[in-house]
Amino acid sequence: MYGRFISTGLVAGVLFGVPTNSARAQVTTSYPTQTVRILLGYGAGGGADITARLFAAKMETLTKQVFIVVNKPGANGNIAANEVVRAQPDGHTLLWSPSSTYASNHLLYKNTPYDPKRDLTLVSVFTRYGFVLVVSKDNPVNSISELTARLKAKGGGMYGSSATSFMACAELYKLSAGLITQQVNYKTTGDAVRDLAGQQVDFTFVDAAFAVAQSQAGRVKSLAVTLKDRMTGGPEIPTMAESGLPDYEMSGWIGLAAPKQTPVAIVSQLNRWAGQVIAMQDVRKVILDSSSEPFYLPMEQVAPFQDEQIEKWRRLITDGRLEVQ
């Protein structure tokens, strides 16, 4: 399985996670040897898609090899994740996905086809961001308090959801505001926003970059962001706490992952490259302008961070009484 990267005499060191210096040099200098596919479980145009294509372009410059982003939306990112889990663990098929794939999907869905710790190796985190509650531009409400009052007056409502994180944000809002709402699942954020425009659903949560872009284009109204503080890239959008829900806060992040048995030397090299990309000033500007913040962890901090995030979601699901689907 590892023959294209390391000689027979060096296999043992890499397999046991302690490659010799010569093994590490041979692996990292020969990788990548072909086109690298970065699978993304969401549609084009969202925050994850924007950063994935930015990362791929910079990786081509660093490695002199082709990196392509392949959108495979559906099942809250599980379709793309499961394909990466089954891929050859040689670093040429990677996963770019929001935090839900690595921390919460397996807790919220009974039939998730993979376990993020057992089947994937989180290579690096890239950005951290908030979520934004949006309504149709034709909806008469202009604040969270007005939306809450409107939903209560009509005895409930419906919200669109195209990702686990968006669903969790909506359920937390529902519990915090004492609402009765029903969830409508969508394959992509674009699908949810199209129904939102026609007011088939009352509201949805989307990632901050998508919300700011859609608001500036006049397609939706952004009522509040889930972060503790207002965003640099969208300072006009109040926080949920400022909007009358003082204990409300939620954030997400985007990470790069590889199949579990990918050699340690390749994973470490990808992590270092990710650090180089995030340090580029033009990359940082794009991230900040898209209402996110650069977020990098060296390799030794990645696994503990993921464990912490999984435990955070476990508590959120229990405390928020989120229904496992």
Q: pLDDT (tens digit, 9 = 90+) per residue, 153-205?
A: 999 999 999 887 888 899 889 988 999 999 999 988 889 999 999 999 999 99
> Tens digit of pLDDT for each residue in 269-312?
999 999 999 999 999 998 888 778 899 999 999 999 999 999 98
Average pLDDT score over residue span 62-82? 92
Which pLDDT band, with edges at 50, 70 and 90, does 6 fall under? very low
Average pLDDT score over residue span 216-234? 91
Please tell me whether residues 101 and 17 are part of one structural domain.
yes
Average pLDDT score over residue span 50-58? 94
- Give the least confident one: 90-94, 178-182, 230-234: 230-234
Q: Give the ranges where the chain is alpha helix by DSSP (H).
A: 11-15, 21-30, 47-63, 78-86, 99-103, 105-108, 116-119, 144-153, 164-177, 189-197, 208-216, 264-279, 281-289, 299-319
Interior angle at CA 308, CA 303 and CA 311, nearest 5: 125
CATH code for position 310: 3.40.190.150
**pLDDT at position 261:** 96
44 burial class (0-12, 13-18, 19+ CB within 10 angstroms)? middle
Helix (H) or strand (E) holding 220: strand 220-225
More confident residue, 34 or 213: 34
The Cα–Cα gap between 212 and 129 comes to 12
Domain presence at residue 37: yes
List the structure tokens of 165: 């994180």
Average pLDDT score over residue span 61-89? 94
Please tell me whether residues 122 and 265 are part of one structural domain.
yes
Number of residues that this document lists for the chain: 325
Helix (H) or strand (E) holding 127: strand 120-136
Which pLDDT band, with edges at 50, 70 and 90, does 320 fall under? low
List the structure tokens of 204: 């949805």
Please tell me whether residues 276 and 166 are part of one structural domain.
no
The parent domain of residue 136 ranges over 130-225
Q: Give the ranges where 178-298 is alpha helix by DSSP (H).
A: 189-197, 208-216, 264-279, 281-289
**pLDDT at position 305:** 95
Domain presence at residue 2: no
Does the pLDDT at position 17 exceed 80? no
| Count of domains for the chain | 2
Domain presence at residue 144: yes
Please tell me whether residues 73 and 59 are part of one structural domain.
yes
Domain presence at residue 187: yes
Please tell me whether residues 79 and 139 are part of one structural domain.
no
Please tell me whether residues 266 and 162 are part of one structural domain.
no
Please tell me whether residues 297 and 277 are part of one structural domain.
yes
**pLDDT at position 42:** 87
Which pLDDT band, with edges at 50, 70 and 90, does 29 fall under? low
Please tell me whether residues 103 and 38 are part of one structural domain.
yes
Whole-Å CA distances, 93 to 38, 84, 273: 6, 6, 16
**pLDDT at position 113:** 87
Please tell me whether residues 218 and 146 are part of one structural domain.
yes
